Structure 1
Amino acid sequence: MTVSTDRPATEPATAPTGADGGDILRRTLRRHAAGVTVITVPGPAGFTATSFTSVSLDPPLVSFYLGATASTAGAVQRADRFAVHVLGAHNAALAERFARSGTDRFSGVSWQDAGDGLPVLDGVPAWLTARVTRCEQVGDHFLVIGEVRSGGGPAEGPALVHHDGAFATAVSLTSSTAM
């Protein structure tokens, strides 16, 4: 084994005495950079989420989680479809707007009706729409899974990420696109 001398060795971090699993999870996930999205449903209703992920390519399924006590939880539970908007670095203000509770998140925001009451936000690098295939409570959150129906956007510019309690941008370290 080779030890790098570029930086000092540190002891593994340990949880403070008395920390519960929720505190440990919260503190650990602050170190995990996550892509920032805005999820919208008919109503219109929407919220900022970092829990968006792909589930399957065949069939094309995606998912997200939403806190059961969130102001948009009822609208999401009633929805039979949703849109996911992948945000770019230039969308930080949009992410902050949709993260605020108790405000009209759509006020002053440019969006289009997908033809069925589903709001699709303008000016985002990428978006997709999905039909809800499953919505169930898991712990203190709702898991929502949907089958992708449509999508678009220019897919340009650096991604907006959330890391250590703040919005940041992703920077490519290599030219490889393989994961």
Structure 2
Amino acid sequence: MHAEEATHPSSPGSPDSPHDHNHFRKVLGNFPTSVVAITAGMPDGRPEAMIVGSFTSVSLEPPLVAFLADRSSRTFPRIREAGRFCVNALAADQEVLCRSMATRGADRFAGSSWQPSPLGNPVLDGVVAWIDCELGEVVEIGDHHLAVGRVHALRAESDKTPLLFFRGGYGDYFSSTSLVLDRLVGW
């Protein structure tokens, strides 16, 4: 191996076009995502929920988070109307709940228990953590809405591992020596 080859990794070849939707999904499926339930308490007293795999922190000062909602979603307009939402980080043992809440037309809260957040949004029992938000800015980006939330309250509920979506399936794929280190140093 030449010195130049050692410092510059070889090219992975010609990239494929991102315009092939199936190929795009397949490649992006190699990036694991956490699975969260976005819940909202509605003025009529009925709770709403949707499942997303695109949640992120945005800012520490002020504390902001965001998620992406498909523009074809029938639930997001109701959550937007509520003006508030709660992000529920689902635990690895909540796949059945996840699938139920992702089903169109179903009673998404059937068989689940929850408590109201400080803002009145559903906090699902058994989650890893939750973040209660007031809805801030909503921006149309491509075929999605980027919803930014101003964090009002938050709590880590358990030491369970999170539910992840990876290569088209749900599971608890994460194991890391850093988790052992985190417990030793008190994270």
Which TM bucket (shorter chain)? Answer: 0.7 to 0.9
Aligned counterpart for 2:87 among listed residues 84, 107, 115? 84
Paired with 1:118 and 1:143, the residues of 2 have a C-alpha distance of 20
Paired with 1:65 and 1:21, the residues of 2 have a C-alpha distance of 21
Which ranges of structure 1 fall in alignment gaps of 5 or more residues? Answer: 3-10
SS of corresponding position for 1:149: strand
- Which residue of 2 is the match for residue 64 of structure 1? 67
Task: Name the CA shift for 1:96/1:58 in 2 (closer, same or farther; >3 Å).
Answer: same
Which segments of structure 1 move beyond 4 Å, counting only runs of 4 or more? 11-14
1:110, distance to aligned residue in structure 2 (A): 0.2
- Which residue of 2 is the match for residue 126 of structure 1? 129
Name the % identity: 34
The answer to whether the aligner puts 1:53 opposite 2:52 as a matched pair is no
Q: Give the partner amino acid of 1:31.
A: N
**Cα RMSD, aligned residues only:** 2.4
- Which residue of 1 is the match for residue 3 of structure 2? none
Paired with 2:58 and 2:136, the residues of 1 have a C-alpha distance of 12
CA contact (8 A) 1:160 1:168 kept: yes
* TM-score in terms of structure 1 length: 0.83
Task: Name the CA shift for 1:27/1:162 in 2 (closer, same or farther; >3 Å).
Answer: same
Paired with 1:36 and 1:137, the residues of 2 have a C-alpha distance of 22
SS of corresponding position for 1:95: helix
CA contact (8 A) 2:84 2:119 kept: no
- Which residue of 2 is the match for residue 39 of structure 1? 38
Paired with 1:57 and 1:90, the residues of 2 have a C-alpha distance of 30
**Deviation by residue 1:28-60 (Cα, 9 ceiling, x = unmatched):** 211110011111112311111110000011111
CA contact (8 A) 2:130 2:157 kept: no
Aligned length: 169
CA contact (8 A) 2:91 2:126 kept: no
> Which has a greater percent of helix?
2
- Which residue of 1 is the match for residue 16 of structure 2? 15
The answer to whether the aligner puts 1:25 opposite 2:24 as a matched pair is yes
Q: Give the partner amino acid of 2:165.
A: H
